[in-house]
Chains A and B, each alone.
Chain A
Amino acid sequence: MVPNLDASIALVAIAPFVAAALAPLVHRFTAPFSGWLLALIPAAIFAYLVSLAPQIMAEGAISARIGWVPVMGLDLSFFVDGLSLTFAATISGIGALIILYSGAYLRGHEHLGRFMAFLLAFMGAMLGLVLADNMLALFLFWELTAVTSFLLIGFDAVRQSARRGAIQALVITNIGGMALLAGVILVQQITGQWELSALRELEDGLRGHGLYGLVLACFLLAAFTKSAQFPLHFWLPNAMEAPTPVSAFLHSATMVQAGVYLLARITPWMGGTMAWTTLLVGFGAVTLLWGALAAFKQTDLKQMLAQSTIASLGLLVLLIGLGSETAIAGVVVYFVAHALYKAGLFMVVGAIDHEAGTRDITLLGGLADRMPVTFIAAGLGALAMIGLPPTIAFFAKEEMYLGLLTPDWQDIAVLVVLVAGNALLAAIGALVAIKPFLGPEVATPKAAHEAPLAMLVGPILLGALGIVAALMLSDFAHSVLEPAASAILNETVKSHLTWAIDLMSPVVWISVLTWGLAYWAYRQADMLRVLMRRFASGLGFTADDVFDAVMFGLIRFAGALTRLLHHGRLEIYLGTAFAMLALALMLPLFALGGIDALLPTAELGNWAGRLSWPPLAIHEWGVFGLALIGLVAIVVSRKRLYSILALGIQGTAVALIFLIFGAPDLAFTQFMVEILSVVILALVMTRLNLEDEDPRPFEDWARDGLLAIVCGLGVALLLMVVITGDLDTRLSDFFTATSVPIAHGHNIVNVILVDYRGFDTLGEISVLMAAGIAIMALLTGRRRKTATPVGPVVSATAPVEAIEPVPARRTRRRKAAP
């Protein structure tokens, strides 16, 4: 037992992020060994997680929480049960091997340190995702995996295809992320629970609720985008632009399994309905067959594996949809087996690519002599992918067939799909792992030789684990299968995995049938490839094309909208803004009856006779006069500079009024703002090379004047309405009473700014800084453009790039830059 369980479980998700921050530094100083060194962190996490296993087997689950926003009942809570432990151990275990592998695979790459940082950050996000109990935390980590995946796919950012793959993955998975957020909030609104562990204790879950359909749609969209289900599968093959360790880690063993994890996690309170089963089995079956067939179309080994991953994900979704005890047991065993062999096979493909210089299956052959250890690793992977004993994958297949041996036609249909899918997958496995090694030797772009040790540890170890798990079947069943399956179904599941193979059982013969079909598909791979290509060209478009069309349309739409709203005419911007202000002021006053408070009532009698001048002192009259002088000067003056100065005088008068009526802070600030406004406006004016005078045609003058009068009148009336009502002084009373005792300050304005509402101020200063950066960008941008001749004012049809605020009536007589 660890001293503080809460902290140490939280650390599992946080430590990789810390390691990520340090990774570039570590790499700089220990370059050749950084892979070995950094792999220690995931390895330690793996060891810690495994040490939790006995407790989870005994108690079912461990929860941990640290306070997040206690006022709102939000905790950063974690929850380790059989399901999350299986996922977390897979992530950290494979993660350690991947980091080791990357050190060798990208050896000497100038950005290897950064790559390691991304990988570790991804691992942290993924661990957080599977350990999170709070659904908002789940969403947060879910999005973090998308972001880190984006960085990793686009790692080789100089290639256009890598950038495209990265953006595509981000867009598609983020659509799912948004759906997940919507789903999470809906569930919280319905049940009042943020926590997954509480949700699964609900009687009958959400199944009977009126919004069940909507919630289900949100979660399914999230899971289907993340786990690349048909027809949203197309981002996954494009994500293979990433370096091979990334494909092995993110796009086979972990990130794409997040959708599967989500579905498994919500099974206790969402699963089992007609809609659930139909949708999951339907989409899963289509994805399985589509992915497996599409794999035959490819000649690139990595693409073949990518397509087969889509198929495997479909298979898992299908099994979760079935939801029977054997199906769920199949999910757990298949997830583990798949993660082990698929990550291993990806690493093998990476090794072939690295050492032979190509991964095109038609250009490879006879590598077994040159890369014997790699061949062994590939063989172990293929054994599992085909589902032969003695690998754990064999039992996964047995388990999934077992529950479908009923005379029901639906079960038989699913069984047929599963057999076909498994057979095709097995054939792909054989093609990827055996074809490049056997047969006559083919000349490769690089003289092939054995891969370095760090690149072999992973696939060999993973392949061996697949066999060890099968050999220690009862231990595996007891420590992995039972806790995980029980966690998914929220009831105790007993394993019946056994080595005693009953030759009378049809399951064995279905397996044999699968292998037979696989052998046929392996022999006919070329024929299948031609068929699939003919089918694809007959179809005429791919999901990829649809994505491009949608994205292009979106950009066109955004461009059109920008041109409509952002036309570049400053006077129209200002006119629109002030017109809206006038509308916002006047509408409530007249349409909603606000003005009634100002109208003299009948009881007042002869109210005009009772009007009198306010008793103002002489200096107050002076301030009033100053404001008037400023105002008149602005309207009368024809020179721009005079107007700016007059505006400053008027503002100063307002500041003096603040001072007289006891708001020194406000007055002080107002003074400074007025001075700086005059200075900056004057500078802007000189910079824009405006004419000294501002001649306006009468219609402009009338329009601007009318707007000014309406806005001014609106503000004045609004303020008068405000002072007719009772002022609610609760807030100011609170501040007056508490500013000294609890905030230790006598200046209430300042105390509010930096203490009571410090968070607001933090936001305000951030906005201020951002505005400053934007203004500086505009200034530099303008300066760069001075080389080109100044054209006419930007018209409404100008391209988006050319749009920048162009002042009205800029003269064309602009002097060339000195």
Chain B
Amino acid sequence: MSFQRRNQAIGSRSDTDSMRNISSRVGGMSLRDHQSPSIGRQVPLVRKTPEIKTQQVNILGVKPSVSKSSGIQVTSIGSATVDNLVFKQHGGIPVGTTTLIKDISRKDVKDDENLKYLSSLSFQNTIGLQFIATGLYQQRRSLKKDITDDNSEKIGHLGIVVGEWIDLHEIPGVYISKNKKHSSSNNKDENESIVSKLSEVEQKRKDLKIAWRYGMKNNDSKDGKNGELEIKEDPNFVPRLDIQGHVFPAATREEVLQININGNTLENIFMAIQQAITKNPKKLIRLYLPNFLNPKYYPKSYFQHHNIMKFLNGLKTLQSMNDSRFVTLITTTTDFSIPLLETFSHTIVELKPFDQQTIDYLTKNYKSQGLPNKVQQGMLNVTKMAKVSEFGHMAVRMNEIVYHVSKNGFVVELWSIPVDAGDDENKDNKKQDIDNKKASKSIEPHGHDHSNHSHISKDLEY
């Protein structure tokens, strides 16, 4: 009799309430009968504790959404400003969704003989690498023991990159506040971009003391405004990355899985992703599909419509099965963007670079304000937002946000047209620039100069 009861207790170990019912029912019986199920109960209790723990386990770098609707968890894309401005309804990418970043190619650049859509991939990959780097950072944090203040288990992330052209050694490392000197070779990638021009402008700027004073004043007020926007940096959620530095030690296979495109099929890639997910039953999966279906990287065999459809459909099903721990980022160029991709993505972000004229204009005006680092590179439009658009809410944001790539990675801000610097003043500046160019080289480095001036301007103000 008592043996039977013990069996019963073990069978129903997942439910303590029913256990109590049984024991209370048994309560009227003899003492011996009463004891035996309680012994039986102790066994399941021991087994049960880890079960409770798995529920309490928190994946690092995941927090509840800013919006009040319950149940949405978000994680960072790898850039605090993108999290807060682009995903402002949530404060990060909602877990269990797909984000599509479309880059509109710059067709206006005619002097460049290369097809621009094949070469202007740096924006996409910057944000993609940051996306992976954040996962890597959280994964490494999860292995450190000192952060486990309570007993609950910390779960990290697993990055999956589909495409062999992404160099895992180039995953940016976490920003270290001590100014470490970076070699000029790192800048090579960005040499084509405006950054190099900017540094020239910066140098010219240093010696223009009068312009500086105005510049610093503007700078202070702008900083104040930025402070009001208060984009908080929470190192537990998103690390501050240094895209010129690389993560050390380099990512291992356990941290970031790379799947090759060549000699593979979409079906096999899908299987590999599925395998990786089942192998890591708890980790947050960060899937990154860079330059998806770009003919530069993808062989001909990939472009069959029904295969793409089946891949995307499978991915979406996989995602809904693991919707508490799966985030996908797809980057592509609009020229190839088939509507299918948009249908299967929850969030659609469009990058639209400025034409050269606008960039020249911005450079000119920001230079005269002493803010050469502020020059934006393009517009960022949002046409669909996960967990918002699906419910019919309006989430289209056109021409409101601008982006640029800075030392800390991909940065976005609200778009505002700079104060137009007059033509006359500009001409004068240029002359002075040329005059002072030679002298400027001997002046101390920029950072130091900057702080000195901010003191001066403060002194002047008070």
Q: Do A and B bind each other?
A: no
List residues of chain B with CB under 8 Å of any chain A CB.
Answer: none
* Chain A residues at the B interface, C-beta cutoff of 8 Å: none
